[in-house]
Structure 1
Amino acid sequence: MNDRSQRQEQWEDRTDALLAVASLAFLAGYAVRILGHDLPQVWQDVCLAITFAAWAVFVVDYVVRMWLSGLRPLRFVRSHVLDTIVVLLPLLRPLRMVTSYDKIQRRRDKARLTLYVRVMAYAGLSSLLLGFASALTVYSYEYGAPGATIRTFGDSVWWACSTLSTVGYGDVSPVTPGGRVTAVGLMACGLALLGAVTGSFSSWLIQTFTREDEKRPPGDFPGAS
Structure 2
Amino acid sequence: MDADNRLIEWENRSEAPLFVASLAFLGAYAVHVLWTSLPSWAHALLLAVIAFTWALFVADYLVRWRISGARFGAGYVRRHLLDTIATLLPLLRPLRVVRLYEVVQRRNDQPRLNLYARVIAYGSMTALLLGFAGSLAVYQQERNAPGATIRTFGDAVWWACSTLTTVGYGDVTPVTAGGRTIAAFLMFLGLALLGAVTGSFSSWLIQTFTREDEKDQFRPPGGRPGA
Aligning the two structures, in what range does the TM-score lie when normalised by the shorter sequence?
Answer: over 0.9
Q: How far 1:106 moved relative to its partner? A: 3.1
TM-score, normalisation: structure 2? 0.92
> Which residue does the alignment assign to 1:76?
76
CA distance in 2, matches of 1:64, 1:14: 13
Worse-superposed segment, 73-82 or 134-143: 73-82
Q: How far 1:20 moved relative to its partner? A: 1.1
Unpaired runs of at least 5, structure 1: none
> Which residue does the alignment assign to 2:118?
118
Unpaired runs of at least 5, structure 2: 222-227
SS at match of 1:73: coil
- Retained in 1: the 8 A contact 2:15–2:103? no
TM-score, normalisation: structure 1? 0.93
- Retained in 1: the 8 A contact 2:32–2:43? yes
Which runs of 4 or more aligned residues in structure 1 lie more than 6 Å from their structure 2 counterparts after TM superposition? 218-221
Q: How far 1:102 moved relative to its partner? A: 3.9
> Which residue does the alignment assign to 1:96?
96
> Which residue does the alignment assign to 1:31?
30
> Which residue does the alignment assign to 2:58?
59
- Retained in 1: the 8 A contact 2:25–2:54? yes
% same residue: 61
CA distance in 2, matches of 1:66, 1:152: 41
CA distance in 2, matches of 1:102, 1:13: 9
CA distance in 2, matches of 1:110, 1:15: 23
- How many pairs align? 220
Worse-superposed segment, 72-81 or 172-181: 72-81
CA distance in 1, matches of 2:205, 2:54: 42
Do the aligned partners of residues 219 and 111 (structure 1) sit closer, same or farther apart at CA in structure 2, a change above 3 Å counting? closer
> Which residue does the alignment assign to 1:205?
205
CA distance in 2, matches of 1:112, 1:5: 25
CA distance in 1, matches of 2:88, 2:131: 18
User: Is 2:179 aligned against 1:194?
Assistant: no
- Retained in 2: the 8 A contact 1:27–1:91? yes
1:102-128 CA-partner distances (Å, limit 9, x unpaired): 431232223431111111111100000
1:158-204 CA-partner distances (Å, limit 9, x unpaired): 11011111111111111111001100000000000000011001111
- Retained in 1: the 8 A contact 2:105–2:111? yes
Letter of the structure 1 residue corresponding to residue 40 of structure 2: Q
Do the aligned partners of residues 220 and 159 (structure 1) sit closer, same or farther apart at CA in structure 2, a change above 3 Å counting? farther
Task: Give the RMSD, CA atoms, in angstroms.
Answer: 1.6
Do the aligned partners of residues 32 and 210 (structure 1) sit closer, same or farther apart at CA in structure 2, a change above 3 Å counting? same
